[in-house]
A and B are shown apart, each in its own frame.
Chain A
């Protein structure tokens, strides 16, 4: 597959304003409707997860069972190991004439359409969105809404051309013309081709769900029906398949079930109505390899498109996040096995923010971000990371280097050299230079004492994780946090040598380094058994440390210790909200908005506690705001790797925040804090509001001097 360089594709995606507008409209309505539809089926996600993982576990058995039953039902079945094999089978079956085809990721994946057209077979898309793309000479841009990027004005032009007269700007009228256009094609087509949402092995039943009725047409009118089915779509029973179809409907489009669910168990019998022949092409194409490599979960996907509707990256660049055959974060994972890592390493394996916004909205609860982090490890560092990114990762891995750099930058600031330094940066990074905070004094950046006594009656003993950037470039936030904790009755332990949590390294594919850092942190905190919690004020560190058990599960010496460590990790707001907090005494007049770091709100499920603490501060008016995207685009060092995508997300966030007219923009993570400041600067609104950490406001309200 030949694609332009990723940077060009991203730029094109960001520049496509009409597509952005349509995506925005669709997401706004769809997200709310899906959220409203889900509670009716509280167990659906768990059931689908169980069905799909059971199916993958018994894949070989089910492939055999399905093939046997389909053959017994009168179908012709082949198992294609590669896309080329699948194409060859299709070219054996279809020798000429017209194929009516439905929307199918599998057909797209094996390149069947191009191969058929190469043999002068006419392939007509019958899903309206795909048909519009076909007439427009473009590709589907969304799993379920392929023409999402094409505005109605353009569709009107296309169909007016087809009809030979100027049609009105009315979806009803355009659909009528589209129906008539395709009716004529259905009447004369010799072949129908679709994918499948699921294949019930036990009965040999191809199950498809749709809203338009084109699959019902193409699987009953033409003489030959071909279903292209990835082996990972096979489930055991009809009931399992129906559950999958319902999941795709509820989570993908907020329907209890799609308008038409068809369960097809073979060609028409003698005297029946339907295809005389039915072919099922089972496609492996890298799936068994993915399962063997520990990435089978990527193929538990039931293709509902819900992840795209919740992905901040897809929201701003659309299908440029993907490789045509496979779209979005899950698509990148799948394409890494169906097309190869060479393709995806260059085309978007670096684009996942790890914000986890896609995980809960997935009917299979697939951990797409986690798999991205693991798969990145397979790509050599020079291909994966820019020099700057590697430098920053090297820096954050060492608190001492962070401190040294901070001190140097502090000196540069004092000497007025910051500006001159920025001019030395490459142009595309120059504007991200304002992400660097103004450095604290070297005294502030000094390590905290190992022991700090509670102020007032002692109620708790807790350990404090100081972090890399928090203990140096943003040290005042750490001091504020320590004061708030001490005033709230905490005796504090700040062990030396704890270092960096390794979150950035983990997300960026530096798994080995991340595990080293995790082990170091665990070692540093060992022996502090009297501490009831390990408290952090950085959402990113907290999320990473709570996942240490997973990170080190294959390390016999550390697996158990990692579990114990992870169980004690608490975000500062989580800990404080669960205990007595120092009574606020000083009023802070002003309006405040709180925005959730994804690593706190989504990864740790902590959304209420920070707001409750904030509302408790006298003088402060805490207001809500309508947030469009889950992630601010900071995402560790994402803003250095994809400054354009990150900048757009910062702009979105800041526009949303400023609509609430705040004096204080409050958050709980260093990256998010710097990102919001950057966004304000980009908007020329740096003085409109102060961006602060929750602990800074609590510090101000609860005390006088530290």
Chain B
């Protein structure tokens, strides 16, 4: 594979804030869970077939996502720049693609106001008034743990919960995804979420798991479909032509489940 690959981020360099552990749960219990998770992830990753990404993107386009597959890093930048008006407030939830192309640094350098939200692996550098920042933002940028081909869904698995706010509060959402994120079904995505939790959080599940299958919608007035009721009116899915992980070994699977 000669596709570009993200530098393996040190998962939780400063440690994710430790969730409340079930009383009596010990790390001994986490170990078989880890093995199980790795085995299940390996199976799902091997099942990925040619054409699955195209299926996913087709389904997503039908659901009203704005889907694009820019050819190179520069093209992703150009696309992001096009979407976000100058002077706009942006909230950025750290992700593999964002890190690889330096999306927040770039936007900041161009004069947009970018708030970097804490990711599970990037705890807060400052104490933000997150609520106000989120409500004031015109655009939220996130990654995705997985894409589901069958349902055309973006999947966000996380412990801290900033991803779901970034993907719901601002009127525009940009999801930066990798081409190897796609799985077949919702239940395969559940395997990804369980894998992420087992390998990075030592929990059975991440605290917040979100499936996003199109822009916010309502048909409550005259049974006419209208977008942007409470969540974003526009959701862009930009597929970075790179991958999260090479191969199928434990280290690769650990990287594969990151957003």
Binding site for B on A (CB under 8 A): 22, 25-26, 29, 68-69, 72-74, 126-129, 132, 145-148, 151-152, 155, 171-172, 174-176, 178-179, 182-183, 187, 202-203, 205, 211-214, 216-217, 220-221, 238-239, 242-243, 246, 255-266, 268-274
Let me know if B21 and A260 touch, CB within 8 A. no
Taking A69-B22, A270-B17, A271-B17 as contacts, is the C-beta distance between A216 and B160 under 8 angstroms? no
Q: A202-B204, A239-B187, A265-B208 are in contact. Are A259 and B213 (CB under 8 A)?
A: yes
Beta-carbon contact of B223 and A175 below 8 Å: no
Cβ–Cβ contact A271 & B186, under 8 A = no
Stretch from B106-114, B138-146, B151-159, B238-246 at the A interface: B151-159
The yes or no answer to B164 lying at the interface (CB within 8 A) is yes
Given contacts A171-B226, A179-B228, A216-B230, A262 and B164 within 8 Å (CB-CB): yes
Question: What string of 1s and 0s marks CB contacts (under 8 Å) between B126-156 and chain A?
Answer: 0000110001000000000000001111000
On whether the beta carbons of B226 and A172 are closer than 8 Å, the reply is yes
CB distance from B223 to the nearest CB of A (A): 5
> Which residue on A lies nearest to B118, using beta carbons?
A271
The interface size of chain B toward A, counting residues with CB under 8 Å, comes to 61
B58 at the binding interface (Cβ < 8 Å): no
The residue of chain A having its C-beta at the shortest distance from the C-beta of B206 within the complex is A265
Asked whether B153 lies within 8 Å of A220 as measured between CB atoms, the reply is no
Known: A179-B229, A216-B168, A256-B213. 15 other contacts (CB 8 A): A72-B22, A72-B25, A128-B221, A129-B218, A147-B220, A152-B222, A171-B224, A179-B230, A213-B216, A216-B230, A260-B231, A265-B209, A269-B160, A272-B161, A273-B161
Minimum C-beta distance from A25 to chain B (A): 6
Cα distance A529–B124 in the bound complex, in angstroms: 82
Question: How distant is the Cα of A273 from the Cα of B230 in the complex, in angstroms?
Answer: 18
Contact of A213 among B160, B206, B229 (CB under 8 A): B229
* Known contacts A216-B168, A256-B151, A273-B162, A263 near B220 by CB under 8 Å: no
Which residues of B lie under 8 Å from residue A69 when comparing CB positions? Answer: 22
Once the chains are docked, how many angstroms separate the CA of A148 from the CA of B218? 12
Q: Which residues of A contact B259 (CB under 8 A)?
A: none
Whether, in the assembled complex, B74 has its beta carbon less than 8 Å from a beta carbon of chain A, the answer is no
Could you mark each residue 80-97 of chain B with 1 if its beta carbon is under 8 Å from any beta carbon of chain A, else 0? 000000000000000000
Q: How far apart are the CA atoms of A171 and B225 in the complex, in Å?
A: 8
Contact present for A182 and B220 (CB under 8 Å): no
A270–B16 Cα distance when bound, in Å, is 10
In this assembly, does B207 line the interface, its C-beta being within 8 Å of a C-beta of chain A?
yes
B contact face: mostly helix, strand, loop, or mixed: loop
Q: Is A272's CB under 8 angstroms from B160's CB?
A: yes
Q: Is B27 an interface residue (CB 8 A)?
A: no
- In the complex, A259 Cα to B229 Cα: how many Å? 12
Please give the distance in Å from A128's CB to the nearest CB on chain B. Answer: 4
Q: What are 26 pairs between A and B in contact, CB < 8 Å?
A: A73-B19, A74-B19, A128-B218, A145-B219, A171-B222, A175-B229, A179-B229, A203-B205, A211-B218, A211-B219, A214-B229, A217-B169, A238-B190, A239-B190, A242-B186, A246-B186, A257-B211, A259-B212, A260-B168, A260-B210, A261-B153, A261-B211, A263-B210, A264-B207, A273-B117, A273-B165
Against A, the Cβ 8 Å flags (1 = close, 0 = not) of B19-32 are: 11111010000000
In the complex, whether B42 has a CB less than 8 A from a CB of chain A is no
Question: Contact check: which of B161, B193, B213, B232 meets A257 at CB < 8 Å?
Answer: B213
Is B79 in the interface zone, CB < 8 Å from A? no
CB distance A257 to B186 under 8 Å?
A: yes
- Residue in B20, B23, B210 whose Cβ sees the most chain A Cβ within 10 Å: B20
In the complex, the answer to whether A175 meets B218 with C-beta atoms within 8 Å is: yes
